[in-house]
Structure 1
C-alpha cells in the first residue's frame, strides 16, 4: 500500500524520488484533540445568529480561516457576504466559547509521531488555519522544543486559507524544501486538498467523525485511523522511501 501510494504520487507529480526533509503538521485534530470543541462553539454561535449549519459542516470547513467560514454561512443563509464587523464579532464570540470548552489535550499518538520525526532528523513545521493564540502557545508546553515561531504558518500568515495551496506553499518556504521533500499530516478534507494542490505527499489521519471516503476523495495519499497507528507504521513508510529506485 505504501509503495503503491508513493509510486502514484511520483507519477502524478513528475518527480523521480520522494526525499522528505520536513514534516508539515496541521494542528487541530492532529496535534490537539480540539475539533469537537471548535465544532461545538461554531454551531452554537451560528445558531444564535440564525445561520444555517450542521455540526458536520464545521468538520468539513476545518482549515478555513474564521472569516471564510463565516462568509460561507452568510452566503448560504442570507445570499450575501458578511460585513467586516459581523466577521469580527462572530469570530470573537466563537473564540470565547472555544476557550471555555477546550481542555487543550494533546491528540493521542501525536507525541509518538513527533518522536519519530525527530528520530529521522526531519524538520517539523506547523501549518494551521487557526489564529487561536492560546492553543498555538500551548504547543511548547505539549511538544517542547519542537515547533519554533519561524517554522509556523497560521491563519494570520496567509491571504487565502485552506483549501487554497497557499498555506502549505508557505510551509515549504519556511522549511526551505521542495514539494517532494516534505510530508503533510492532515485530518481535514480541506487541509488535504490544500496540501495536495501544493504538490506534497499527504498523509491523512481520520481523527474525527467524517467518513474515510471524504479524506480519500480530497486526495490523501495514505490514510490512517488515528495518530497512534501512523506512529506505529512510520518506520515502514520511511523504509519504503529508502527502498525507492530513482
Structure 2
C-alpha cells in the first residue's frame, strides 16, 4: 500500500525519490484533540450573531483563517463580506467561547510518533492556521524539546491560509528544503488541499466525524484512521520513504 502510494506521488510530481528531512504537522485535530471544542464554539457564536454554521460544517472549514470562515458564511447568508469590526467582534467571541472549554488533551499517538521522528534526525514542524498567543508554550508543555519557534508557521506568518499552499510552502522555505524532502500530516480537507497544492506527500489522519472519502477526494496520498494508527505504522512507512526511487 505504502509503496504504491509513494510511486504514484513520485510519478505525478516528476520526482525520483522522497529524501525525507522534515515532517510537517497540522495542530488542531492532529497534535491536540481540540476540534470538537472549536466546532462547538463556531456553531454557538455564529448562531449568537445570527449566522448558521453547524458543527459538521465547522470541520469542513478547519484550517481556514477565522476571517475567511466568517466571510464565507456572511457572503452565503448576506451576500457580502463582514466588516473588519464584525470579524474582530465575532472572532473574539469565538476565542472566548473556545477558552471556556477544558484544555484540549494531546492527541493519542502524537507524542509517540514525534518522539520517533525526532530520534531519527528529522525536523518536526507545526503548520497551523491558529493564532494563539501561547502556542509555543502549549506545544513545549505537551511535546518537550521537540518544536522550535523559528520552524513554526502560524496565522501570523501568512497572507493566505489553507487551502492555499502558502503555509506549507513557507514551512519548506523556513526549513530550507524541497517539496520531496517533507511529508504533511493533516486531518482537515482544507489542510489536505494545501499540502497537495504545495507538492508535498500528504498523509491524512481522520480524527473527526468526516467520511474518509472527503479527505481522499482532496488528494491525500495515504489515510490513517487515527494518530495512534499512524504512530504504529511510522517506521514501516519511513522505511518505504527511505527506499523510494523511480
- With normalisation by structure 1, the TM-score equals 0.98
Corresponding residue number in structure 1 for 2:13: 13
Spell out the pairing of 1:77-226 with structure 2 (5 A cutoff).
Answer: 77-226=77-226
Shift of 1:94: 0.2
Instruction: Report if aligned partners of 1:64, 1:129 keep a CA contact under 8 Å in 2.
Output: yes
Aligned residues: 246
Q: Could you tell me which residue of structure 2 aligns to residue 3 of structure 1?
A: 3
Structure 2 equivalent of residue 60 of structure 1: 60
Q: 1:242: which partner in 2?
A: 242
The one-character-per-residue Cα deviations of 1:141-181 (angstroms, maximum 9, x if unpaired) are 00011111101110111100000000000011111110000
Q: Which moved more, 1:45-54 or 1:132-141?
A: 132-141
Listed as ranges, the matches of 1:29-40 within 5 Å are 29-40=29-40
Deviation of the 1:110 alpha carbon: 0.2
Aligned to 1:50: 50
Contact 2:43 2:52 survives alignment (8 Å): no
**SS class of match (2:125):** strand
CA contact (8 A) 1:113 1:231 kept: yes
Contact 1:29 1:187 in 2 (8 A): yes
Q: TM-score, normalised on structure 2?
A: 0.98
- 4+ residue stretches of structure 1 with deviation over 3 A? none
**Which runs of no fewer than 5 residues in structure 1 stay unpaired?**
none
In 1, Cα distance between equivalents of 2:218 and 2:20: 22
Tell me the distance in 1 between the aligned counterparts of 2:243 and 2:21: 16
What is the deviation of 1:135? 4.5
Please tell me whether the aligned partners of residues 104 and 135 of structure 1 are also in contact (alpha carbons under 8 angstroms).
Answer: no
